[in-house]
Amino acid sequence: MPTPVTHLAIVTGTSSGIGAALATELLDRGWDVVGIARRPSAIEHPGFRHVTLDLGDTTNLTDAIERELGEVVSDPGIERLALVNNAAHIGLLGTIEQLDPVGLAEVYAVNVAAPIALSGWLLRRANPQTTIRIVDVSTGAATNPYPGLGAYGTSKAALRLAGMILAEELDAAEQGGGAPRDVSILSYEPGIVDTEMQGALRASTPDVIPLRDFFVELHREGQLAPASEPALEIASFLDAAVVPRHTEARLGG
Ligand SMILES: NC(=O)c1ccc[n+]([C@@H]2O[C@H](COP(=O)([O-])OP(=O)(O)OC[C@H]3O[C@@H](n4cnc5c(N)ncnc54)[C@H](OP(=O)(O)O)[C@@H]3O)[C@@H](O)[C@H]2O)c1
């Protein structure tokens, strides 16, 4: 990673899909990027660093991220710091009647506990003068009751609300006399995107995902967006000079 670093993005889930496309887009725009995933990343760029981490291992998450990035993110030379909570666990498909509690806790660890922990750690650790942008990658399943997506949808609903609560807490801290901080949060729905995640939905069966044939049909009709499209929109948010404390957006809207 070349020095000095002024724009640094931590993006989770950069081994495939939207996370990989976003990391590439940000590198093209001159950002330095730290990517987090269990598998390696195909990205080779002097501004890119891959950190191998299982976000489901919540017991060790804070220590691991502190060890890897604590000094980097607290550097006062960083003008703009981004955290994109993009990684998600969609492994546990099935109706509420079928859901196993151990699997459910694993989904919540990756989709809720890890992004909340990373956001809190970043706010505690970053220089207070640094501009911070947090993006929580959401889904239509966070606000619509899609059958068979109970584990995933409820986890994303929790993450969406966590971002809203964080924004309120930041406002309350300032109103209580704390120093103003330029911190903003976006909850972003990428639409239906041609990634491994969609492949997993199509590979399922209608008894597990009653909407499975809908996803198969969208794919057959070529209606899935390429990962570069949401990547472009998220990167534009991260580059924007002024944004509200909390926003919600969806691909193309
Ligand atoms: N594709 C869609 O249609 C769609 C629609 C709505 C929302 N989304 C959201 O978009 C985001 C990106 O998904 P995608 O579509 O790009 O799917 P994807 O290609 O399957 O990417 C998921 C990423 O999450 C990472 N990940 C999963 N579990 C992890 C763990 N325990 N620790 C670390 N990293 C982990 C994966 O890396 P490793 O496996 O290497 O760890 C991978 O890089 C997700 O938040 C998803 O909910 C996607």
User: 85 alpha carbon to ligand 1 midpoint, in Å?
Assistant: 10
Count of residues in the chain: 253
CA atoms of 35 and 57, how far apart (whole Å): 17
The answer to whether 13 and 85 are in contact (CB under 8 A) is: no
Question: Cα dihedral sign for 7, 8, 13, 15?
Answer: positive
pLDDT of residue 211: 87
Count the neighbouring beta carbons within 10 Å of the beta carbon of residue 176: 7
First-to-last alpha carbon distance for the chain, in angstroms, is 34
Distance of CA 40 to the CA centre of its chain: 18
pLDDT of residue 181: 96
pLDDT of residue 20: 98
Instruction: State whether residue 225 is helix, strand or coil.
Output: strand
Whole-model pTM?
A: 0.97
Q: Which residues of the chain have pLDDT under 50?
A: none
Residue type, 102: V
Strand partners, 184: 133
pLDDT of residue 202: 94
CA atoms of 169 and 163, how far apart (whole Å): 10
pLDDT of residue 163: 98
pLDDT of residue 2: 52
Instruction: State whether residue 247 is helix, strand or coil.
Output: strand
Provide the Cα torsion 152, 153, 155, 161; round to 10°: 160
CA-closest candidate to residue 234, choices 197, 189, 194: 189
**Fold exhibited by the domain 7-191+228-250:** Rossmann fold (3.40.50)
Question: Cα dihedral sign for 209, 213, 218, 222?
Answer: positive
DSSP tally for the chain: helices H, then strands E: 8, 7
The answer to whether 91 and 38 are in contact (CB under 8 A) is: no
So where are the chain's domains?
A: 7-191+228-250
CA atoms of 187 and 135, how far apart (whole Å): 6
Q: Measured from the CB, is residue 50 less than 6 Å from ligand 1?
A: no
Q: What is the pLDDT of residues 74-118, one digit of tens each?
A: 999 999 999 999 999 987 788 999 899 999 999 999 999 999 999
Which of 195, 211, 215, 233 is the pocket-test mutation for ligand 1 (most atoms within 8 Å of CB)? 195
Q: Measured from the CB, is residue 81 less than 6 Å from ligand 1?
A: no
Q: Measured from the CB, is residue 71 less than 6 Å from ligand 1?
A: no
